[in-house]
Amino acid sequence: MRDGPRALHPLRILAALDEETIRALESDADFTKLLERLLAAFDRAMSPQSGWFTQHAPKHAALPVAYFSAEFGVHQTLPVYSGGLGVLAGDIVKEASDLGLPLVGVGFMYPQGYFKQHIAPDGRQEESYQRLERDFAPAETLRDAQGQPLVLTLQLPGHLLHVQVSRVEVGRVTLLLMDTDLEQNSPWERELTARLYGGDQETRLLQEILLGIGGARLVRALGLRPGVWHANEGHAAFMMVERVREKVEAGMPFPQAVEAVRAASVFTTHTPVPAGHDAFPFGLVEKYLAAYWPTLGLDRDRFLALGAHQEPYGMAFNMSVLAFRLCGRHSAVSRRHAEVSRRMWAALWPDREEAPIVAVTNGVHVPSWIAPEMDALFQRHLGADWAARHDDPALWKKVEAIPDAELWETHLALKRRLHRFLLGRSRRRLLDGRSSPPQVLASGALFDPEALTLGFARRFATYKRAALVFRDPARLRAIVCDPRRPVQIVFAGKAHPADEPGKHVLQEIYRAAEDRGFAGRIAFVEDYGLHAAQHLVQGVDVWLNTPRPPLEASGTSGQKAALNGVPSLSVLDGWWAEGFDGTNGWAIGSPDPGPDGDERDAADAADLYHRLESEVVPAYYERNGDGLPHRWLAIMRAALATLTPRFSARRMVKEYIDVLYRPGWEAVGAARSAADIPDVAGSASARGGAPQGQAAGERAKDGPRGAA
């Protein structure tokens, strides 16, 4: 079975069944019993009364969270994600369903998704796009009361943009995914939402207008009345502007409208790199929103002041700044990232000692990332209900009782499965005529399932320093080619199509994987996605992460590895700065800023080699008379016990509820007891009228500078 969108696809499997097979299954007692158990479990999970939220915050059940994100990574059969941001959003959605948190996601249905990655013989990344087969997508067209496809419209300069909506059910959570691939639109407009993060600045601005303004109107058109509106990154910041417009149109003065929107709005920033925050030229914003700001009661200057920020090239309209100014609560994705973000954005709050950005460290959806073999092991030793209690630190003390032999054999089974996965991919490339002998070598076909195996899978941005381990090729060769204690490293990841420096790093690594001098100990997995990620985080021995501090916001791949007993060898940045305790993995370099640039890279590379030579490799290959690596197993246990409960999506979403959502629910509940704006907002959304709005001129109470 192929990986990617066609892998393990339930709808495709069902479509392939003939009537004879279906009748045979219907008469198979074992199959029908299994099906009945699964359906009963599904019904229990989907029950409105089940879930943590109904017991702990029942009074807020009628105030759902509207969660806006440019991408959602929920399954490989729905390729509308590119990497960490989308996978995190998918994990949040799945955990919200598990907890019973009322949440609706708003984003895009990209008909061409993110690109498929192909590696040319010279190691260069090549990109191609495949249209989503809607008949096999786990989504349905959203329809109106008359059964017709729901189509919204937005007024662009001189014409209307038509938008269709798909609905995806993720457990008890609904995703509303918009796209413009409709005959009513011009060819270039049909391509507007074709690809994730494609096109130029103008395309990106239009996408963000559609996500924020169009998404808010979609929520209103469906009659939803959220208590909290959460923007996952600045891409969705126009959502707050549209809600201010609703209130102004309903008769509320602009300053009060800003305060009301702030009270119900949450913004999560993910990027500690200034260049990672979208900023648009004022002239481009004016081109598309000049007819909008009068509906806010604002003129040009007061509207542009909402997002005005000094960029390296001059003043521009910064979407993260807009979100900071119109949201009442702001979060970063790790403690270290919060510190960096407070410094980065301090000028927005000149009257405060510290920028009000709290840390809610990212976590991962445990049921999605746990290997079936580890799940079975935990059921035997932690209890059949371990998954329901996985964020309880006390539960994980029981890992000490798991016999060494059983834990090790479970881990080896996952390594063997990873090895089969690498062989399978290599075989398919050969059968497709896409592999030369060096490419077979680079695919991991010669990997040894018994050798110490490191995994590195990230987006190939230069600050991730994927090639750090190759800084001294001779020293690395001595480590990986040791005949008694060999080491293997498997790499995966994509570079953004426009990121030439990132592509050069990827090419460097791929050429090393083809280099016979490394004896087949380096591999590169082409076209990294959710399916490949599960094999890697479950099947390697060590998770390697080497970003240049302090540029790692959080990082969650190491968390996915940890819950499968895989410790990290990582720079002390992002989540690892708070996760590492000296027993549950290894740290590279110093947490202090220290030198920068090449000097920092040289120091960190030297420390990485030292950790491998003196700590990691000896611990893995140290065996007693029974052949088991007892010291290594102690590190695995420490990773499981100390990291799984702390870095789970369950802990994260509960923190969202307590720290970020509850204040909004309380404020909105109090205001709604008088009256909100149901009719005006609803009619504006159903109209689908154009972005019309106004901007800010007066500073709202306690808001960051520029909010007025």
Q: What is the pLDDT of residues 127-148, one digit of tens each?
A: 999 888 887 888 999 998 899 9
Q: Where would I find the H helices in 581-661? A: 597-611, 617-621, 630-643, 649-655
Work out the mean pLDDT of the chain and round it to a whole number: 90
- The residues near 70 (Cβ < 8 Å, ≥ 6 apart) are 85, 86, 107, 108, 196, 197, 207, 208, 211, 232, 233, 235, 236
Q: What's the pLDDT score for residue 672?
A: 66
Rounded to the nearest angstrom, the gap between the alpha carbon of residue 511 and the centroid of all alpha carbons in its chain is 29
Distance CA 96, CA 649 (A): 9
With cut-offs at 50, 70 and 90, classify the pLDDT of residue 558: very high
**What is the average per-residue pLDDT within 667-684?**
52
Q: What's the pLDDT score for residue 336?
A: 96
Q: For the chain, first and last CA: distance in Å?
A: 56
Q: What is the pLDDT of residues 377-424, one digit of tens each?
A: 999 999 999 999 999 999 999 999 999 999 999 999 999 999 999 999
Q: Are 152 and 144 in contact (CB under 8 A)?
A: no
Q: Are 523 and 491 in contact (CB under 8 A)?
A: yes
Q: What's the pLDDT score for residue 288?
A: 96
Q: What is the pLDDT of residues 273-295, one digit of tens each?
A: 888 899 999 999 999 999 999 99
Supply the DSSP string of 666-685, one letter for each residue. Answer: HHHHHHHTT---HHHHHHHH
How do beta strands 173-179 and 228-232 pair?
Answer: unpaired
- Highest mean pLDDT, choosing among 54-58, 126-130, 449-453, 693-697: 449-453
What is the pTM assigned to this prediction? 0.92
**What is the average per-residue pLDDT within 666-690?**
48
Domains assigned to the chain: 1-46 (no CATH), 58-115+126-362+652-687 (3.40.50.2000), 367-380+394-647 (3.40.50.2000)
Q: What is the pLDDT of residues 301-341, one digit of tens each?
A: 999 999 999 998 899 999 999 999 999 999 999 999 999 99
Q: What's the pLDDT score for residue 54?
A: 87
Q: Residue 531: how many CA atoms within 13 Å on its side-chain side? A: 19
Q: What is the pLDDT of residues 147-167, one digit of tens each?
A: 999 999 999 998 899 999 999
Distance CA 72, CA 294 (A): 33
How do beta strands 140-141 and 151-156 pair?
Answer: unpaired
Among the residue ranges 251-255, 278-282, 701-705, the one predicted with the least confidence is 701-705
- Highest mean pLDDT, choosing among 8-22, 171-185, 188-202: 171-185
Q: Are 305 and 706 in contact (CB under 8 A)?
A: yes
